[in-house]
Amino acid sequence: MLTIDDLSPAQPVNQLPAETDARLHDLLRANLDVVFPAAALCVVHQGAVVLNQAWGWLDPDTRQRPTQPDTWFDLASVTKLFTVTAFLSLVSAGKVAIDDTIVTVLPEFGRISPRPIDGGQDPHSRERLPTPDNLAGKTVYPARVTFRHLLAHTSGLAPWRDVYNAAGSAPTPPDVPDPISRAERWSKALNVLWDYPFVDEPGQRVHYSDLGLMLLGEAVSRLNGTPGALDTAIRAWVTAPLGLSTVMFNPVRNGVERERIAPTEYDATWRQRRVWGEVHDENACGVGGVAGHAGLFAAARDVAALGQAWLTEDTRLSIKPELLREARQEQTNGERRGLGWVLKSPEAGESSAGDVFSLSSFGHTGFTGTSLWIDPERQLVVAALTNSVHPGRLRPGTFEFRRDVHTLLAEGL
């Protein structure tokens, strides 16, 4: 049996039953060059790696660079899982408690108190949104917000703001030195993150918030004793202990050849170039490529390895078993969320994990076309990485592919 620890990111594996393999290839053929040009899957079932393969092209126009099992993909919001894992390790180490208020670690967050509520900002159109009538005129005391709120996305913070505009001009391409240092970009970003209006009262509803995870990332770096260096903290608490060799922020700036990385969207509004080897998310890119909500790149094997570590409660994570289990339990009413994790919806057709994964399944998706789902009952881990934003964001098909591939694998295994 080949375990995830035995598997190198570049090693191709296919131990799927013949019928399941045929169905998977039919599904991929139907989606390649339609939904995404490149894909990689790593699947672990009952402790054995049953699949580590790649399909498509990194250069779909010329088809000179086939996708490899160790191709690096922009993880987008799957980055959040690494930030959360580092934070929960710090909780287990006694550095902080989940129900501590965030001002105990980030006192600047409370420098304007109370703060108003507004309608937030649309992440796609960038337009300011109207304040809901029932919240008009209300204010929030930032000192009420706890780390549990950040982890469950119930802080009342806005889902998105154009932080990148405050952090400085568009960065240079990743193979050209940036005249603005990462420290300066992050300092400018924090200066606005401390002060944004809320969009709701803490603890009321789920507002999936990139801003909350950006703040959690800063808390992780400070608790680690390396303020402003989340990459150092994640390396210390997550990637180094698990031996994840491909998980990295700013891979090109750190010496990875761009030809090993799946490109994403052509950015016609800000960077004026194909995004390749730099993070797709504007806010993560604008702050220097390192943020708690987005910025990590990785090969499928290493994403699956994180999922397997959570599934088996691997002691290398340094998270207490009871905290690992609490993170996978429902923390909210309505939308099912744990501590940093998305929990599978009981409604048919509504989960990117498909309809066959058990209700105890937990996972996360990334806007670029990535996902990680874990089914404890089936002992099944699926890291599915694509670059579905390559043809342009918000095109249809990504959710359907995710749903279909998870259903296919759960049925076939």
The rounded mean pLDDT for the chain is 97
Q: What is the pLDDT of residues 145-173, one digit of tens each?
A: 999 999 999 999 999 999 999 999 999 99
Mean pLDDT of all residues in 2-6:
98
**Which region holds residue 369: left if phi is over 0, alpha if psi is between -120 and 50, else beta?**
left
Cα-based distances in Å from 338 to 83, 274, 275, 306? 14, 35, 32, 17
Rounded distance between C-alpha atoms, residue 400 and residue 154, angstroms? 27
pLDDT of res. 168: 95
- Other beta carbons within 10 angstroms of residue 128's beta carbon come to 12
**What is the reported pTM?**
0.98
pLDDT confidence tier of residue 333, bands split at 50, 70 and 90: confident
- Burial of residue 179 (CB within 10 Å: 0-12, 13-18, 19+) is exposed
User: What superfamily does domain 81-235 belong to in CATH?
Assistant: DD-peptidase/beta-lactamase superfamily (3.40.710.10)
Q: What is the pLDDT of residues 357-392, one digit of tens each?
A: 999 999 999 999 999 999 999 999 999 999 999 999
CB neighbour list of residue 250: distance below 8 Å, 6 or more residues apart = 174, 231, 278, 279, 288, 289, 290, 295
Domain regions of the chain by residue span: 81-235
Res. 394: pLDDT tops 90: no
Q: Say what percent of the chain tops pLDDT 70.
A: 100
pLDDT of res. 124: 86
Q: What is the pLDDT of residues 169-201, one digit of tens each?
A: 999 999 999 999 999 999 999 999 999 999 999
Residue 224: name the closest of 233, 213, 214 by CA: 233
Mean pLDDT of all residues in 347-363:
95
Task: Give the pair of three-digit tokens for residue 145.
Answer: 């917000």
Do the beta carbons of residue 178 and residue 139 sit within 8 Å? no
pLDDT of res. 200: 97
Res. 310: pLDDT tops 90: yes
Res. 334: pLDDT tops 90: no
